Amino acid sequence: LAKTTQPISMDSYEGQEVNITCSHNNIATNDYITWYQQFPSQGPRFIIQGYKTKVTNEVASLFIPADRKSSTLSLPRVSLSDTAVYYCLVGPMNRDDKIIFGKGTRLHILP
Amino acid sequence: KAGVTQTPRYLIKTRGQQVTLSCSPISGHRSVSWYQQTPGQGLQFLFEYFSETQRNKGNFPGRFSGRQFSNSRSEMNVSTLELGDSALYLCASSLARRGGPHPRNEQFFGPGTRLTVL
């Protein structure tokens, strides 16, 4: 399983775009990159998943460079309700492999 | 469609006791995973069940066990409780597709059971 490194915490202001970068230098060819969001006292919630280039959904965008050694979760125009912990996961496509969560990035949105 | 439900939501036990937590997955989901979350260790994988069989296990002592029933509902049990077992226990369900390769399916988490061991 590829090890991931992300900032422990980040602060931003309402209305700003927030970019959280995750490093995964030893990502394997068949690894996908997945991001989850967790609010206090709740279980994590899937945000977005990608393999290469750019993926966008109604919540966020995921940018993955050609070497795939890092990825950036982009949250457009954040609000106070985006205050949460964001987890970057890197894992293979094999459905039998367990999912490992790291420490995540604690994002704090200020008014 | 109803989400993942976990019961009970809160539980207080004393050291040495045992506890059983229950998880009902989203209808149609056959994979159920359990996680322990503490402030110090973060979110840690306990085990995963699929079709009543444990197919993945984390690095937890044998006091932690689980099972899955034919309707995909799952229970986890912790025996001889220790103070350090105080945590939020999360259950997640997902569809399990056959064949591949394909990315790991999205996991849907329940609200968790907050266990306090005194």
Mean pLDDT by 10 residues, chain A (111 residues): 87 97 91 92 91 93 96 96 94 67 92 93
Mutate to test the interface with A, among B33, B104, B113, B116 (most CBs of A within 10 A): B104
| pLDDT at residue B101, as a whole number | 47
Measured CA distances, A36 to A49, A103, B75, B80 (Å): 9, 12, 24, 33
* Pairing of β A70-75 and β B113-117: unpaired
Candidate ranges A79-93, B68-82, B98-112; pick with highest mean pLDDT: B68-82
Contact B11, B118 (CB under 8 A): no
Mutate to test the interface with B, among A37, A95, A100 (most CBs of B within 10 A): A95
| pLDDT at residue A76, as a whole number | 94
Among A106, A100, A89, smallest CA distance to A40 is for A106
- Measure in Å the smallest separation between the Cα of B97 and chain A Cα atoms: 8
**Largest Cα–Cα distance of chain A, in whole Å?**
43
| pLDDT at residue B100, as a whole number | 47
**Tens digit of each residue's pLDDT (9 = 90 or more) over B7-27:** 999 999 999 999 999 999 999
| pLDDT at residue A106, as a whole number | 96
Burial class, B101, CB count within 10 angstroms (exposed 0-12 / middle 13-18 / buried 19+)? exposed
| pLDDT at residue A97, as a whole number | 66
Query: Does residue B99 have a pLDDT over 50?
Result: no
**Tens digit of each residue's pLDDT (9 = 90 or more) over B13-71:** 999 999 999 999 999 888 899 999 998 888 899 999 988 999 888 999 999 999 999 99
**Residues A31, A49: Cα–Cα separation, whole Å:** 11
